[in-house]
Amino acid sequence: MSENKQRCAIGIDFGGTFVKLARVNEHGVIGSRASFATTGLKGVQAWLDEVQRHIEMLLADVADHTEWVGIGVGVPGFVDYAKGYVYNLTNVPGWTGVALAEKLTERFGKTARVDNDVNAMAIGECTFGAGQAYQHAVFITLGTGVGGGLLLNNKLYRGASSMAGEIGHMSIDRNGIESPMGKGGVEQYIGNRQIVDYAQKQLAAGRKSTILDVAEGRLDHVSPKVIAHAAEEGDALACEVFDYVADCLATIMASVAYLLQPQAFIIGGGVAAAGSILFEPLRKHLAARLCSHFMDRLVIKRAELGNDAGVIGAATLTFLE
């Protein structure tokens, strides 16, 4: 590559509902973006065909002095990162035992990297976002479930089989809610659906709250965003819901802090958009569970890249190798 050439990569954030793609340069800047619906695609080949069509569009206006070096993909499931192999995507039919990196390289003739989607987001945040200042950080995403990524000694830690960092399955109750991942996993309590269930049960029991006003009087319109809006206005039930979320989250964060002693927890995902409504009680509950030697050295901050963290992080996987 000429010294004057810049590098770009295609980052793909493979979600259960939508696939987002972007052309990203080596400074983490998005040049162009695209997306398509995951639902309705019949299998891996159809997905690859659709990816190819969108990549061609993303590269149509790439500058002469820019070299396309590869493709990175973040997927919502278990992955062997070294092999680029997808074991299973629970919410996407037909994606079991897929050598995805190999298929992408065969089709495009470029380096392809495949990782868990939260690992990709963590790489994005730690390279270009809220984690740039740290060598030891834990990334947590709060959405449909609870995901995690571990930056240790300035490198993403994937564990013996590329599956480390599954914070959402860490137990907060040894006799708690059962799932295929075990008992008492924290995402069984504070995933999006569980947060909404908490509020809806209280409302159905007759609790007075402005949550329903924000939801236009409809229980089925209640969402974490609606609850956060009500909490910002001082609604007691809404604040109680976020205090509960913060308490559950602090329980696992304290264990992770004692085990790894990170410099920072970086928290992203839709629920984190609540800002101080979440972060203030989170700091309070975490301080109650950690000794001062750990808590006083710990930074808790919101992720900065928002919905772009996945595509930026996925593209960054190709620059770091």
Is 1 inside any structural domain?
no
Tell whether 138 and 93 lie within a shared domain.
no
CA distances 20 to 12, 283, 295, Å, are 6, 33, 37
- Cβ-contact 279, 1 below 8 angstroms: no
Contact (Cβ atoms closer than 8 angstroms) between residue 311 and residue 55:
no
150 within domain boundaries: yes
The partner residues of 274 in beta bridges, in order of sequence, read: none
Please, how many CA atoms are within 13 Å of residue 199, restricted to the half-sphere of its CB?
Answer: 35
* Residues 32 and 178 placed together within one structural domain of the fold: no
Q: Please report whether residue 176 resides in a domain.
A: yes
- Number of domains making up the chain: 2
Most distant pair of Cα atoms in the chain: their distance: 69
Task: Report pLDDT for 5.
Answer: 79
At residue 17, the pLDDT reads 85
CATH number at residue 203: 3.30.420.40
243 and 109 belong to one structural domain: no
**Same domain for 245 and 164:** yes
Q: Tens-digit pLDDT profile for the chain (321 aa)?
A: 445 678 999 999 998 889 999 999 999 999 999 999 988 888 899 999 999 999 999 999 888 888 999 999 999 888 999 999 999 887 788 899 999 999 999 999 999 999 999 999 999 999 999 999 999 999 999 988 899 999 999 999 999 988 899 999 999 999 999 998 899 999 999 999 999 999 999 999 999 999 999 999 899 999 999 999 999 999 999 999 999 999 999 999 999 999 999 999 999 999 999 999 999 999 999 999 999 999 999 999 999 999 999 999 999 999 986
Q: Is residue 232 assigned to a domain? A: yes
Structure token digits, residue 32:
């162009």
How many CA atoms, within 13 angstroms, populate the side-chain half-sphere of residue 70?
A: 19
What contacts 10, CB < 8 A, 6 or more positions away? 21, 22, 23, 24, 55, 58, 59, 68, 70, 71, 72, 315
pLDDT in the model for residue 310: 94
CA distance 138 to 267: 8
Task: Give the DSSP H or E segment for 246.
Answer: helix 236-260
Question: DSSP string covering 248-301, please?
Answer: HHHHHHHHHHHHH--SEEEEESGGGGGTHHHHHHHHHHHHTTS-HHHHTT-EEE
Instruction: Please report whether residue 77 resides in a domain.
Output: yes
- Looking at the fold, whether 260 and 299 belong to one and the same domain comes out as yes
pLDDT of residue 155: 93
Query: Can you point out the beta strands (E) in 135-224?
Result: 137-142, 146-152, 155-157, 178-179, 182-183
| Judgement on whether residues 282 and 154 belong to the same structural domain of the protein | yes
Q: Are residues 158 and 289 in the same domain?
A: yes
Whole-angstrom distance, CA of residue 294 vs CA of residue 263 = 9
What confidence score (pLDDT) does residue 3 get?
Answer: 59
Same domain, yes or no, for 176 and 71? no
- Both 162 and 103 in a single domain? no
Beta bridge pairs of residue 185: 171
Please indicate, yes or no, whether residues 113 and 138 belong to a single structural domain of this protein: no
Query: What is the pLDDT at residue 227?
Result: 97
Do 292 and 313 reside in the same domain of the chain?
A: no
Determine the structural domain holding residue 70 and report its residue range. 6-126+308-319
Rg, Å, the chain Cα set: 20
On whether both 283 and 153 belong to a single domain, the answer is yes
